[in-house]
Amino acid sequence: MGLQAVFFYLFAFVAVASAFMVISARNPVHSVLFLILVFFNSAGLFLLTGAEFLAMILLVVYIGAVAVLFLFVVMMLDIDFAELRSGFLQYAPVGALIGLILAAELVLVIGGSVLSPEAAKSITMPIPSPAVRTNTAALGDVLYTHYVYFFQVSGLVLLVAMIGAIVLTLRHRENVKRQDISKQVARTPATAVEVVKVKPGQGI
């Protein structure tokens, strides 16, 4: 237990400290890099609770893909941070409201499970012991066996979002030469080459 506590405090401290750095760093790229550190330490916290699959998926999806694209965009944009900071205070009430709501929800969830653990357990799926069913298999049971229709619906929502994004951004510009590989492969000497007999001194 002692070693786990040490690692918990390590991950938790680094996560909170770098979360603070995300909002206080002057350089937006540094902010994103600190955000990545927050994700990384959260993955460590997941590991400590035994949710190994979630920890790895957090690494693959959030750090490996989402944050890369995020970093990509922040690097490409030339953000003037001083200008961005100037209107900071006018958004403070909205931010405070969102923070308050999140804090209230956290208190409700944690308070509920502290006051009556049985009631909190009755609304969630029972967690099988790791010896019986591995973490990954247990998650698979929940997603693909018990809640398969909800899973399909969420997949459909994502598909619609993807198609929407493609439709909004896809433009076929005129006068752009595109490579059509099947057309290139289908070319034969008969269609591509013309043999011309040229008489000397006459040209074509």
* Chain contacts with other proteins (rule: CB under 8 A): 2-3, 27, 29-30, 33, 36, 52-53, 56-57, 59-60, 63-65, 68-69, 71-72, 75-76, 134-136, 179, 181
How far apart are CB 79 and other proteins at their closest, in Å?
Answer: 14
Query: Nearer Cβ to other proteins, position 68 or 100?
Result: 68
Closest separation in Å from C-beta 68 to other proteins = 6
User: 3-class DSSP state for residue 179?
Assistant: coil
Nearer to other proteins, 76 or 168 (CB): 76
12 or 28: CB nearest other proteins = 28
Minimum distance, C-beta of residue 138 to other proteins, in the bound complex (Å): 12
Q: How far is CA 16 from the centre of its chain?
A: 20
Measured CA angle at 143 (ends 107, 46), to 5 deg: 45
The single residue listed with the structure tokens 């247990």 is 138
To 10 degrees, what angle do helices 28-48 and 67-76 make? 170
User: DSSP per residue over 115-132, as a string?
Assistant: H-HHHHHHTSPPPPPTTT
Closer to other proteins at the Cβ: 60 or 108?
60
Q: CA-to-CA distance for 99 and 184, rounded, in angstroms?
A: 58
Give least dist CB 130 to other proteins, A: 9
Sign of CA dihedral 143, 144, 145, 149: positive
Minimum gap (Å) between residue 129 Cβ and other proteins: 14
Closest to other proteins by CB, 72 vs 150, is 72
First to last CA, the chain: 90
